[in-house]
């Protein structure tokens, strides 16, 4: 019998998705968490994206959730593939470029998704989602909200055994 397992999708998760997984245990994000734990997703993270997540986990509004930020980041480190921060380089003639996000803080997620060859960037951020057509056209990256991502890659289906 031949192993015909589908390739594991490369994905970048915006900080708001990590917060849903780590702090809120959001039902919509549970299939993503389960897929990460099972190795059914190749989540990519850069030092800049991880640092933003570290800062976000320390926001005062999350204190009441009593999250152990170090343990949360250790879990993220276990389920992600670290890559270097992408270089901010000027666009070369004929080369793909990364569309600019209105919110400069979110540019790192777009650049990472492109540079790392991610198939998906999962976000709930309106400024990021607004760039979905341009990211698809210029970078071949699907920018999608979590529910669409779960449906598209069938995380809501039971894993094949």
Structure tokens of 77? 């480190």
Mean pLDDT of 34-39: 96
- Predicted confidence (pLDDT) per residue in 50-67, tens digit: 999 999 999 999 999 999
Structure tokens of 62? 């999350």
Mean pLDDT of 72-94: 81
160 has a pLDDT exceeding 60: no
Confidence of residue 92 (pLDDT cuts 50, 70, 90): very low
Confidence of residue 6 (pLDDT cuts 50, 70, 90): confident
Phi, psi (degrees; rounded to nearest 5) at 147: -65, -40
In sequence order, what DSSP letters do the residues of 91-102 get, joined into one string? PPTT---PPPPS
In the chain, the domains with their CATH numbers are 10-152 (3.40.50.1010)
Q: How far apart (Å, rounded) are the C-alpha atoms in residues 4 and 137? A: 29
Mean per-residue pLDDT of the chain: 90
pLDDT of residue 5: 66
Q: What is the pTM of this model?
A: 0.89
Structure tokens of 86? 């992408």
**Is 43 strand, coil or helix?**
strand
20 has a pLDDT exceeding 60: yes
Q: What percent of the chain has pLDDT over 70?
A: 88
| Range in 24-33, 94-103, 113-122, 134-143 with the lowest mean pLDDT | 94-103
2 has a pLDDT exceeding 80: no
Structure tokens of 122? 């999962």
Q: What percent of the chain has pLDDT over 90?
A: 78
26 has a pLDDT exceeding 90: yes
CA distances from 139 to 99, 103, 117, 131 (A): 9, 19, 9, 11
Q: How far apart (Å, rounded) are the C-alpha atoms in residues 152 and 134? A: 19
């Amino acid at each position: 019998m031949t192993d015909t397992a589908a390739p594991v999708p490369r994905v970048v998760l915006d900080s708001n998705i990590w917060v849903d997984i780590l702090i809120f245990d959001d039902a919509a994000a549970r299939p993503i968490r389960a897929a990460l734990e099972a190795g059914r997703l190749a989540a990519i993270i850069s030092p800049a994206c991880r640092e933003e997540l570290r800062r976000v986990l320390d926001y005062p509004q999350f204190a009441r959730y009593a999250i152990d930020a170090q343990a949360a980041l250790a879990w993220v480190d276990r389920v992600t593939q670290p890559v270097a921060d992408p270089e901010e380089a000027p666009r070369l003639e004929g080369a793909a470029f990364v569309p600019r996000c209105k919110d400069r803080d979110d540019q790192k997620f777009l650049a990472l998704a492109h540079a790392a060859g991610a198939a998906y960037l999962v976000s709930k951020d309106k400024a990021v989602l607004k760039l979905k057509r341009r990211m698809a056209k210029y970078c071949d990256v699907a920018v999608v909200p979590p529910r669409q991502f779960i449906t598209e890659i069938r995380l809501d289906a039971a894993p094949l055994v």
